[in-house]
């Protein structure tokens, strides 16, 4: 298949979907407070673009801080689990508990316990995002080729040398794959935390704008905020994918 045609296919499919959506809304005379068309959504965004873009920057800031925290925490815990079976036995169950606990259930407690609002939202988003980094990195550290581990052992390498010079570089593709998943999860966690904070009177980010638009039945404005979130998620995923490919191309010979 032609690569250019393959890249253009999702854009063409999306444009076709938007045309059908706008046509159906217009032909069926669907009220905008039930389902706005793409034209109404664009108009609502343009009318309130400054407020929506500032809110988007707030959400992106929380997402970026949470992704950095999740990457650091996931890597550190994965290294601890790889270095010690006791650490693995101690850490893994609690990591799973955090992953399966709905963040919306514990977000109110975190917002109460953490005095600073931005830090509280980052903590909530980090809880959602760190597990893919931890699990993927731990899997990569455990998947080191045994023949290379034997070679290091035969040459008298210590456990720490084997960990940092062999197992950690070999786990880089796994870490980057987990980071790519964590990027979108950090955005989801940030929005969920903002919903909880906004419900308590601390309007923040795009989630605050979505709730505000819902209370006022400004459905086109709500869809505009949701569209911005979707675009942000796509760009984060694409940027992390580009970073992953660039890093692996540069250091691929080591793996």
Share of the chain above pLDDT 90, in %: 47
Confidence of residue 3 (pLDDT cuts 50, 70, 90): low
pLDDT for the residue 136:
93
Q: What are the C-alpha distances in Å from 211 to residues 24, 43, 71, 236? A: 27, 19, 30, 24
pLDDT tens for each residue of 200-247: 666 678 998 998 898 888 999 999 999 999 999 999 999 999 999 988
Q: Are 192 and 124 in contact (CB under 8 A)?
A: yes
Determine the Cα–Cα distance for residues 250 and 76; give it in Å rounded to an integer: 24
Pick the more confident residue, 114 or 254. Answer: 114
Pair 56, 48: CB distance under 8 Å: no
The residue behind tokens 């063409």 is 12
DSSP summary character for residue 17: H
Contacts of 59 (CB under 8 A, 6+ apart): 187, 190, 191, 194, 205, 206, 207, 229, 232
| Band of pLDDT at residue 58, cut at 50, 70 and 90 | very high
157 pLDDT more than 80: no
pLDDT at 255: 47
- pLDDT for 127 beyond 50: yes
pLDDT, greater one: 25 or 251? 25
Q: Tell me, what's the pLDDT at 19? A: 94
Compute the distance between CA of residue 125 and CA of residue 135 in angstroms, rounded to an integer.
Answer: 17
In whole angstroms, what is the distance from residue 134 CA to residue 241 CA?
18
| Euclidean distance between CA atoms 60 and 46, whole angstroms | 20
Span 41-45, mean pLDDT?
A: 94
């Amino acid at each position: 298949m032609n690569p250019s045609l393959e890249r253009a296919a999702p854009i063409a499919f999306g444009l076709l979907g938007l045309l059908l959506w706008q046509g159906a809304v217009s032909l069926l005379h669907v009220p905008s407070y039930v389902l706005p068309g793409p034209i109404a959504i664009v108009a609502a965004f343009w009318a309130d673009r400054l407020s929506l873009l500032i809110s988007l920057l707030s959400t992106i800031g929380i997402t970026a801080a949470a992704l950095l925290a999740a990457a650091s925490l996931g890597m550190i815990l994965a290294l601890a689990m790889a270095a010690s079976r006791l650490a693995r036995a101690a850490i893994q169950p609690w990591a799973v508990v955090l992953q399966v606990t709905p963040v919306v259930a514990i977000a109110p407690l975190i917002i109460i316990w953490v005095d600073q609002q931005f830090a509280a939202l980052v903590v909530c988003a980090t809880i959602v995002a760190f597990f893919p980094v931890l699990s993927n990195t731990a899997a990569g550290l455990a998947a080191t080729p045994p023949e290379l581990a034997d070679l290091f052992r035969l040459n008298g390498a210590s456990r720490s040398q084997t960990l940092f010079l062999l197992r950690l570089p070999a786990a880089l593709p796994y870490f980057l794959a987990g980071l790519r998943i964590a990027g979108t999860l950090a955005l989801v966690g940030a929005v969920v935390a903002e919903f909880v904070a906004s419900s308590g009177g601390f309007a923040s980010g795009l989630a605050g704008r979505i709730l505000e638009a819902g209370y006022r039945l400004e459905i086109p404005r709500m869809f505009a905020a949701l569209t911005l979130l979707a675009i942000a998620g796509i760009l984060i995923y694409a940027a992390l994918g580009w970073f992953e490919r660039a890093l692996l191309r540069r250091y691929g010979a080591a793996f």
